[in-house]
Amino acid sequence: MHSTASDGSLSPSEIIETAKNIGLRAISITDHDTIDGSAEALRSPQAFPLEILSGIEISADYSPGTMHILGYMMRPDDPSLKQALKDIQQGRAERNLKIIERLQQFGLNIDYKEVSEVSGGGQIGRPHIAQVLVRKGAAQNIDEAFARLLKKGGPAYVPRYRLPPAEAMQLILRAGGVPVLAHPFTLHTENEAELEGVLVNLKQAGLKGVEVYYPDHGLEKTAKYERLARRHGLLMTGGTDFHGAAKPGVHLGVGRGDMRIPYRLIEEIKKSRA
């Protein structure tokens, strides 16, 4: 799940409150390229009896698809993790300015201040830029803003500094965490054999798990990822990718309503760390 520290709409304390209200046993805030929201949740005196696992989601350098590496249970104050995230955030800030410049060149009336206002004080990303475009009537909705302008390869797309997958995983491992490949379908591999090849390479570079359970996986993908995880001795994890109002239809803890991610997956993560 994502908090206001990245592109979610609930603060870490609002997430904790909601998670307790619906009776979850454990959560992990896995913000994009920042551990601030997760660290805040870990420090929260309000969390008990909810178990908080530290988390992160790092965007790795990969094409043609999108590769996100999740990290669970890192030490949130690990110095090399913090430094690397600072570098990524710097690259992101520079890229945001370039995207806004491009949009201005297309004649759209948008400035950095407006984008920073909708971000809720956390890290700024393309979803916040999209929100401003929608608010100004320059796009019908967030998806349309991405499809027409902001998506990878789109006219207002500007790439940003990303870590190679191996470096992202090593960073998580050195901070005591467990690296997991998020929502494997976004890699856009052609078939199961190609995905399997990617997994084998990632495993050699430190990968420990695969996000098998995810709102958009459906039965077929879920079965495929379970099969691949089993075959290659990788942990299975689950995530809702909850973003609050920023991602309508996906609810905290239950995704589109039918997800129940079992606690035993966390026990397996802990065993693997030990």
Q: Given the rule CB under 6 A, which residues bind ligand AMP? A: 7, 32, 125-127, 142-143, 146, 151
Determine, following the binding rule CB under 5 A, whether residue 68 of this chain makes contact with Zn ion. Answer: yes
Residue type, 215: P
**For tokens 């601030």, what's the residue?**
36
Closest to ligand AMP by CB, 127 or 184: 127
**Residue from 53, 69, 182, 202 binding Zn ion (CB under 5 A):** 182
Tell me: does residue 224 bind Zn ion (CB under 5 A): no
CA-to-CA separations, 168 to 84, 116, 171, in angstroms, rounded:
9, 27, 5
Q: How far is the CB of 68 from Zn ion (least distance, A)?
A: 4
The verdict on whether omega for the bond into residue 49 sits within 30 degrees of 0, i.e. cis, is: yes
The dihedral built from the CA positions of residue 267, 269, 272 and 274, taken in this order, carries a sign that is negative
The burial of 121, by beta-carbon neighbours within 10 Å (0-12 exposed, 13-18 middle, 19 or more buried), is given as exposed
56 binding Zn ion? (CB under 5 A)? no
Interface mask toward Zn ion for 87-126; x: CB under 5 A: ----------------------------------------
Pick the closer one to ligand AMP by CB: 84 or 266: 84
Q: What sign does the dihedral 16-245-163-179 (CA atoms) show?
A: positive
- Residue 196 amino acid letter: E
Question: Of the two residues 182 and 252, which places its CB atom closer to Zn ion in the complex?
Answer: 182
Closer residue to ligand AMP, CB minimum distance, 144 or 268: 144
Residue 7: both structure tokens together: 């592109």
Q: How far is the CB of 271 from ligand AMP (least distance, A)?
A: 30
Residue whose C-alpha is closest to residue 61's, from 189, 151, 168, 163: 163
Nearest distance in Å: CB 57, ligand AMP: 8
Which residues of the shown chain bind Zn ion in the complex (CB under 5 A)? Answer: 68, 182
